[in-house]
């Protein structure tokens, strides 16, 4: 048979491609449940890392089931909020049926259209609440996302964890790999006063004492800009909720974004106030 015939060539390549596509489709369908379970456990372990329950390295040694159990044991409640920061729906936290709002890509679009359904995961550690919220945006090559943990009255950031799909290893990938980068988020605050730029990752170093700025990574300008935009975008969407939580603490607080050290006393006062408030509710 003449294998260089045009018709033969077209039919042959078509058949080969269709067979390959069919094999891949079957494999993808068969493996999907396992892959999704892995992704869910990965998402949860990122949250647990941000909230300071464990480190990513330690969690990587655990099986999916153990990670889900750890989540279920430590979570108090998880719910969705709307653009005004009002609770709209509860998320299941029972270990057998954990629900996550992890389609951040869709929510990222919904934030832009003003109709988001944003998740808040409230963990409990040593009697204190930890509120974990996600962020999502575009890096240099692909999506980047992360989880940020706030203290009980959403005043201070307790920890953060970032991940990416395909940032350059050794440069942009450092948002995930370099511990110092996420460590600097500890103790920082979201600048409620400036909702257009509530948080900044500053190239060339953040000014000392500025509570809502952190250092950028050398050589990863595009990734850092992307992460900065993602944080701004998502923090802005969460500000109504965060402010509600901060509530009393913010009202009699003299300092907004500047985070002047002198005001620490007032902050403590705010904490106390909030705690009393919580007790009344309880």
Partner 1 sequence: MNEDLKKTLLNPIFKGNPITVLVLGICSSLAVTVQLKGAFVMALSVIIVTGLSSFIVSLLRNSIPNRVRIIVQLVVVAMMVILVDQVLRAYAYSIDKQLSVYIGLIITNCIVMGRIEAFALGNKPIPSLLDGLANGAGYGMILIIVAFFRELLGSGTLFGLRVLPASYVPNNLVILPPMALIILGCIVWVQRSIQKDLQEK
Q: What residue ranges bind partner 1 (CB under 8 A)?
A: 3-5, 8-9, 12-13, 16-17, 20, 23-24, 27-28, 31, 34-35, 38-39, 41-42, 60, 166, 169
Whose tokens are 């005004």? That residue is: 84
- Report the residue number, 26 or 128, with the smaller CB distance to partner 1: 26
Q: For residues 63 and 49, what is the distance between their CA atoms, to the nearest angstrom?
A: 15
Q: For residues 101 and 112, what is the distance between their CA atoms, to the nearest angstrom?
A: 17
- Report the residue number, 115 or 166, with the smaller CB distance to partner 1: 166
Which tokens belong to 22? 């069919």
Give burial (CB, 10 Å; 0-12/13-18/19+) of 159.
Answer: buried
Smallest gap, in angstroms, from Cβ of residue 53 to partner 1?
18
Whose tokens are 């992307």? That residue is: 226
Smallest gap, in angstroms, from Cβ of residue 279 to partner 1?
42
Smallest gap, in angstroms, from Cβ of residue 215 to partner 1?
21
Asked if 101 contacts 118 with a C-beta cutoff of 8 angstroms, the reply is yes
The strand pair at 200-202 and 213-215 is best described as parallel
The count of other CB atoms within 10 Å of the CB of residue 83 is 17
- Report the residue number, 34 or 105, with the smaller CB distance to partner 1: 34
Smallest gap, in angstroms, from Cβ of residue 169 to partner 1?
8
Strands (DSSP E) along 139-237, which ranges? 143-150, 157-164, 200-202, 213-215
Smallest gap, in angstroms, from Cβ of residue 218 to partner 1?
16
Smallest gap, in angstroms, from Cβ of residue 71 to partner 1?
17
Smallest gap, in angstroms, from Cβ of residue 41 to partner 1?
8
Smallest gap, in angstroms, from Cβ of residue 208 to partner 1?
28
- Report the residue number, 20 or 106, with the smaller CB distance to partner 1: 20
Asked if 249 contacts 151 with a C-beta cutoff of 8 angstroms, the reply is no
Whose tokens are 């999916």? That residue is: 64
C-alpha distances (whole Å) from 11 to each of 1, 20, 24, 182 are 14, 14, 20, 54
- Report the residue number, 13 or 278, with the smaller CB distance to partner 1: 13
- Report the residue number, 20 or 128, with the smaller CB distance to partner 1: 20
- Report the residue number, 41 or 111, with the smaller CB distance to partner 1: 41
Q: Which residues lie closer than 8 Å to 160 by C-beta, 6 or more apart?
A: 50, 146, 147, 148, 149, 182, 185, 186
- Report the residue number, 152 or 175, with the smaller CB distance to partner 1: 175
Whose tokens are 């990965």? That residue is: 42
The pair phi, psi for residue 185, each rounded to 5°, is -75, -20
């Amino acid at each position: 048979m003449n294998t260089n015939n045009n018709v033969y060539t077209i039919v042959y390549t078509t058949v080969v491609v269709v067979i390959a596509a069919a094999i891949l489709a079957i494999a993808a369908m068969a493996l999907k449940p396992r892959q999704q379970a892995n992704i869910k456990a990965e998402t949860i372990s990122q949250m647990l890392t941000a909230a300071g329950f464990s480190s990513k390295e330690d969690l990587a040694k655990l099986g999916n089931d153990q990670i889900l159990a750890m989540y279920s044991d430590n979570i108090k409640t998880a719910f969705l909020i709307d653009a005004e920061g009002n609770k709209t729906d509860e998320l299941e936290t029972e270990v057998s049926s954990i629900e996550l709002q992890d389609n951040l890509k869709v929510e990222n679009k919904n934030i832009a259209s003003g109709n988001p359904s944003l998740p808040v995961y409230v963990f409990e550690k040593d009697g204190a609440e930890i509120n974990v919220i996600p962020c999502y945006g575009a890096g240099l090559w692909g999506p980047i996302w992360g989880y940020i943990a706030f203290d009980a009255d959403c005043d201070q950031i307790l920890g953060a964890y970032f991940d990416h799909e395909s940032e350059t290893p050794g440069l942009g990938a450092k948002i995930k790999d370099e511990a110092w980068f996420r460590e600097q988020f500890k103790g920082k605050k979201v600048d409620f006063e400036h909702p257009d730029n509530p948080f900044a990752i500053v190239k060339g170093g953040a000014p000392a004492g500025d509570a809502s700025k952190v250092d950028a990574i050398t050589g990863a300008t595009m990734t850092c800009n992307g992460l900065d935009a993602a944080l701004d975008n998502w923090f802005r969407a969460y500000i109504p909720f965060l402010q509600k939580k901060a509530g009393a603490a913010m009202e009699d607080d003299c300092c907004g974004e500047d985070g002047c050290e002198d005001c620490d006393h007032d902050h403590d006062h705010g904490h106390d106030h909030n705690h009393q408030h919580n007790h009344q509710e309880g």
